[in-house]
Amino acid sequence: MGADYSSGADPATGAPGPSLTVLGLETSCDETAASVVRLSPDGEATVLSSVVHSQIDDHAAFGGVVPEIAARSHVEMIADVAARAMAEAGLDYAGLDGVAATAGPGLVGGVMVGLSFGKAAALARGLPFVGVNHLEGHAVSARLARPVAYPFLLLLVSGGHCQLLEVRGIGDMSRLGTTIDDAAGEAFDKIAKAMGLGYPGGPALERLAATGDGSRFELPRALLGRKDCDLSFSGLKTAASRLAQACETDQDRADLADAVQTSIARQLSERTARAMADYAERHDQRLLVVAGGVAANRTVRAVLEKTAADRGFDFLAPPMAYCTDNAAMIALAGAERLALGLTSDIDMAARPRWPLDEARALADPVHAKAGRKGAKA
Ligand code: KG4
Ligand code: ZN
């Protein structure tokens, strides 16, 4: 941990500190993003700018993200994207209190680009630097919608991650459950690919499902009756990919898309309901936050909102633009860390794997495929 640059509450008087304005950088996958966020002492976050350069066109021909292409594109774009974020915020670096960059987990070649740029920018301007866990960014992303007090139950559903977490504060999270195979977004993407829908699959599958009726398809229901909060999507992926081969008409494909989306939403709901029961034993504040790319799916949001309401939980999801990867969530996580005096050393290394609940991930890696490299999340 680096020096204490905290501008948060005065430790002697408890008086709130000034607002913190942070430049955030995100390059862990296929978006080059930069954003300036101002965090006020009462927890209100204002997004002064949020620039996202998507590499979708660079990867589309390959049906998925190609790490080398991603890293090269981040190198080409990062300076321009950061300059645009600063210009749109109407600030120069003197107006910042810190610089935050994703330090992992993700594709390490890309992570290194944003991390190096962020360190250099901080060093050159004498600003504190904060290396942020990308998943912590998703975890705080709903706080871009409105101030939310900790603790809350978090369902983090993205392309690389699918976990249920008890979030007690920044850097203080326990994993209640995780996928034992694929992430939900990965299932959306792979099934969409099998259906010939292109990349990224989730949004394309959602559009197609709008004209379908999946009731005629019987898809496998994983982990039914299991007492823990883990999730699994590989059986669904295999079954749906096989059914995709047999689809003959556009209506067949739309019906299958609807069945897949319903099935993913149902499992997320079943496992989250289990986690709610567990979480409610420890906390009176009952709030379910859903974050990550899959939280952009309207059916998933609606099903989870009902699941929460049925169990006396409030429900909050980030604004649509902050569900998929963005830098506003990284800037906010950075500002929250800065307010607590948590800064990073300038020689902090990029981490391809970086679980939020490190102790739990080491004790119980769940992912058989994580192997000797350890748990991915
Ligand atoms: O959070 P994110 O941008 O990147 C990761 O950190 O993984 O999530 C991307 C994932 C992809 O798998 C994408 O297909 C999925 O989120 N996704 C969706 C939707 N929008 C994005 N899945 C279903 N419905 C959507 N509307
Ligand atoms: Zn993400």
State whether 180 and 35 are in the same domain.
no
Among 132, 151, 111, residue whose Cα is nearest residue 29: 111
State whether 227 and 123 are in the same domain.
no
Buried residues in 294-311 as b, exposed as e (16+ CB within 10 A)? bbbbebbbebbbebbeee
- What pLDDT is stored for residue 72 in this prediction? 97
Find the mean pLDDT for residues 138-152: 95
Q: Is the pLDDT of residue 208 over 80?
A: yes
What Rg value do the Cα atoms of the chain yield, rounded? 20
State whether 135 and 259 are in the same domain.
no
- What pLDDT is stored for residue 225 in this prediction? 83
12 part of a folded domain: no
Residue minimizing CA distance to atom 8 of ligand 1: 293
Rounded distance from Cα 377 to ligand 2 centre (Å): 12
Q: Is the pLDDT of residue 282 over 70?
A: yes
261 part of a folded domain: yes
- Residue 298 CA: nearest ligand 1 atom is 26
- Residue 106 CA: nearest ligand 1 atom is 6
State whether 127 and 33 are in the same domain.
yes
259 part of a folded domain: yes
The predicted-structure confidence for 79-92, as pLDDT tens digits, reads as follows 999 999 999 999 99
**With contact defined as beta carbons under 8 Å apart, do 282 and 166 qualify?**
yes
- Amino acid at site 55: Q
Residue minimizing CA distance to atom 3 of ligand 1: 324
The predicted-structure confidence for 19-47, as pLDDT tens digits, reads as follows 999 999 999 999 999 999 999 999 999 99
State whether 219 and 290 are in the same domain.
yes
Q: Which residues line ligand 1 (CB under 6 A)?
A: 29, 158-160, 185, 188-189, 200-203, 206, 292-294, 296-297, 324-325
The sign of the CA dihedral 173, 179, 181, 183 is negative
State whether 26 and 116 are in the same domain.
yes
* 16 — pLDDT class (breaks 50, 70, 90): low
- What pLDDT is stored for residue 334 in this prediction? 98
Q: Is the pLDDT of residue 14 over 60?
A: no
* Distance between start and end Cα atoms, the chain: 22
Rounded distance from Cα 319 to ligand 1 centre (Å): 14
6 part of a folded domain: no
pTM here is: 0.92
Q: Is the pLDDT of residue 9 over 60?
A: no
Query: Could you tell me the residue range of the domain that residue 89 belongs to?
Result: 20-145+322-363
State whether 33 and 172 are in the same domain.
no
Instruction: Record the tokens describing residue 262, joined without a space.
Output: 């319903």
The predicted-structure confidence for 332-356, as pLDDT tens digits, reads as follows 999 999 999 999 999 999 999 999 9
State whether 163 and 289 are in the same domain.
yes
Q: Residues with Cβ < 8 Å from 23, sequence gap 6 or more?
A: 34, 35, 36, 82, 85, 86, 93, 96, 98, 99, 100, 118, 121, 331
Q: Is the pLDDT of residue 255 over 90?
A: yes
3-state SS assignment for residue 333: helix
291 part of a folded domain: yes
State whether 202 and 313 are in the same domain.
yes
* 2 — pLDDT class (breaks 50, 70, 90): very low
DSSP secondary structure, 114-145, as one string:
HHHHHHHHHHHHT--EEEEEHHHHHHHGGGGT
State whether 114 and 30 are in the same domain.
yes
- What pLDDT is stored for residue 63 in this prediction? 79
| Mean per-residue pLDDT over the chain, rounded | 92
Instruction: Record the tokens describing residue 357, joined without a space.
Output: 């609940």
The predicted-structure confidence for 123-133, as pLDDT tens digits, reads as follows 999 999 999 99
- What pLDDT is stored for residue 254 in this prediction? 98
| Ligand index nearest the alpha carbon of residue 200 | 1
Rounded distance from Cα 15 to ligand 2 centre (Å): 35
* % helix, strand, coil for the chain, step of 5: 45, 20, 35
Instruction: Record the tokens describing residue 260, joined without a space.
Output: 């897949």
Comparing 111-115, 239-243, 285-289, 353-357, the range with the smallest average pLDDT is: 353-357
Count of domains observed in the chain: 2
Among 352, 31, 292, residue whose Cα is nearest residue 138: 292
Q: Is the pLDDT of residue 321 over 70?
A: yes
Final residue before a domain boundary, out of 299, 317, 335:
317
Axis crossing angle, helix 201-209 with helix 298-310, rounded to the nearest 10: 80
Residue 113, H or E segment: helix 108-125
- Find residue 315's DSSP bridge partners: 288
282 part of a folded domain: yes
State whether 332 and 313 are in the same domain.
no
| 149 secondary structure, DSSP code | P
Buried residues in 255-279 as b, exposed as e (16+ CB within 10 A)? bbbbbbbbbbbbbbbbbbbbbbebb
207 part of a folded domain: yes
Share of residues in the chain with pLDDT > 70 (%): 92
CATH number of the CATH domain containing 274 = 3.30.420.40
233 part of a folded domain: yes
Final residue before a domain boundary, out of 317, 352, 372:
317
Final residue before a domain boundary, out of 262, 288, 317:
317
| Residues across the chain | 377
State whether 177 and 57 are in the same domain.
no
